[in-house]
Amino acid sequence: MPNPKNTLQPDSIRSQLKAKVSKSVWKLFETTATCADNLKMDVYLVGGCVRDFLLDAEALDWDIVVQGDGPELGEAIAAKLGFKIQKKSQFLTCAVVLENEDKLDIATTRSETYKHPAALPEVQKSSIDEDLFRRDFTINTLALKLNGENAFSLINKYDGLEDLNSGLIKILHSKSFLDDPTRAFRAIRYEKRFEFSLESETNQLLKEAIDAKVFDRLSGFRIFNELKRTLQEKRPVSYVQRYKEIGLLQCIHPNLFDPTSGTKLLNKIEKGLHHLKDTPEKWKVYFLGMLYSTPKKSRQPCLSRLDIKGKEASFFQESIESVDKTLIALDKTEDIDPIVIYEALHRLSDEAISLLIALAKTEGVKKAITSYNDYYRERAILKVNGGDLIKLGFSPGPTFQNILESLKKARLTENIQTKDDEIDWIQKKFNPEKS
Q: Which residues bind ligand ATP (CB under 6 A)?
A: 47-48, 63, 135-136, 140, 180, 182-183
Shortest distance, CB of residue 63 to ligand ATP, whole angstroms? Answer: 6
Pick from 51, 302, 56, 293: which is nearest to 155 by CA?
51
CB 101, min distance to ligand ATP, A: 19
Q: Across the strands, what pairs with 95?
A: 86, 105
Q: Which residue is nearest to ligand ATP (CB)?
A: 48
Cα–Cα distance for residue pair 160/1, rounded to 1 Å: 16
Indicate the pairing of strand 168-169 with strand 84-87.
unpaired
Cα separation of 118 and 123, whole Å?
15
CB of 187 to ligand ATP, least distance (A): 10
Nearer to ligand ATP, 57 or 151 (CB): 57
Contacts of 203 (CB under 8 A, 6+ apart): none
State which residue, 281 or 343, has the beta carbon closest to ligand ATP: 281
Nearest distance, CB of residue 47 and ligand ATP, angstroms = 3
Whichever of 110 and 135 has its CB closer to ligand ATP, that residue is: 135
Closest CA relative to residue 416, chosen from 387, 382, 392: 382
Q: How far is the CB of 301 from ligand ATP (least distance, A)?
A: 25
Least Å distance, CB 155 to ligand ATP, is: 13
Q: Between residues 44 and 83, which has the closer beta carbon with respect to ligand ATP?
A: 44
141 vs 147, beta carbon nearer ligand ATP: 141
Q: Please, what is the end-to-end C-alpha distance for the chain in angstroms?
A: 69
Residues contacting residue 378 through CB under 8 Å, at least 6 positions apart: none
Nearer Cβ to ligand ATP (180/270): 180
CB of 139: closest distance to ligand ATP in angstroms?
8
- In 251-380 the beta strands, taken as DSSP E runs, fall at none
- Name residues whose C-beta falls within 8 Å of residue 386's C-beta, 6 or more positions apart in sequence: 396, 400, 404
Please give the Cα distance from 422 to 416 (Å, whole number). Answer: 6
Q: State the minimum distance, in angstroms, from the CB of residue 74 to ligand ATP.
A: 17
Q: Is 115 exposed, middle or buried (0-12, 13-18, 19+ CB in 10 A)?
A: exposed
For ligand ATP, the closer of residues 222 and 411 by Cβ is 222
For 391, other C-beta atoms within 10 Å of its C-beta total: 10
How many C-beta atoms lie closer than 10 Å to residue 328's C-beta?
Answer: 10
Q: Which helix or strand (DSSP H or E) is residue 62 part of?
A: none
Kindly tell me which of 193 and 264 has the beta carbon lying closer to ligand ATP.
193
